[in-house]
Chain A
Amino acid sequence: DTAVSQTPKYLVTQMGNDKSIKCEQNLGHDTMYWYKQDSKKFLKIMFSYNNKELIINETVPNRFSPKSPDKAHLNLHINSLELGDSAVYFCASSQGVVSGANVLTFGAGSRLTVL
């Protein structure tokens, strides 16, 4: 039973389209995250929610909008897709309040390709 699951695993779309990536965790964790991994494999945090409340919102274009309907789900919606949005997006979760010592459990990633 997958702990952190993301769908879709692969997403190929045209510039200008709107797309969503869904994430669910069955670990009972309180905090969920979205990370972006670029073509050089750099991982950077985008957003974090703790019990449905947005607590981390890095410098990300406002075309990206996270939504957390409950603490087990964190979805990422992207409007007006651009070529530079092509990347692998990872969902992750951790237990308890956000702390530097948190251990993250990652999903398998969603590879977005914008043509």
Chain B
Amino acid sequence: AQSVTQLGSHVSVSEGALVLLRCNYSSSVPPYLFWYVQYPNQGLQLLLKYTTGATLVKGINGFEAEFKKSETSFHLTKPSAHMSDAAEYFCAVSFSGSARQLTFGSGTQLTVLP
């Protein structure tokens, strides 16, 4: 079985500060890992994904995440937060051959303070 844990349901950072959103996963097979973002009153949209290859993945809007197998983590970072980054962020896991699609974490609400 696969599962995702997002540490911290709410994270607040100041504008210009580092953003770090934590995600740990559990999977019995090599995982595919995703970060999705949900802006208010909108659907989720893909920020970035890891399937195979380079473990440091760059996404849209300056976000990146690093797959660390030894730590079973896929934390999301951005060097400098912008007010427009305020949203709900979801980490998700799947694996090759899965017909069950994604297992989502419970989400982290990011607030950016002026």
Contacts and interface: CB of A to CB of B under 8 A. Distances in A.
A84 to B, nearest CB: 18
Interface stretch (B14-22, B63-71, B78-86, B101-109): B101-109
Contacts of A100: 32, 94-98, 101
A108 interface: yes
B: contact size bracket: 20 to 34
Interface in A31-75: 33, 40-45, 48, 55-56
A33 B101 contact: yes
Contact of A99 (B34, B49, B97): B97
Contacts, number: 67
Nearest to A38: B106
Given A41-B88, A106-B43, A108-B43, 13 more contacts: A42-B106, A43-B102, A90-B44, A99-B97, A100-B32, A104-B36, A104-B46, A104-B101, A104-B102, A106-B44, A108-B41, A109-B42, A109-B43
Interface of B: 32, 34, 36, 41-46, 49, 51, 88, 90, 94-102, 104, 106-107
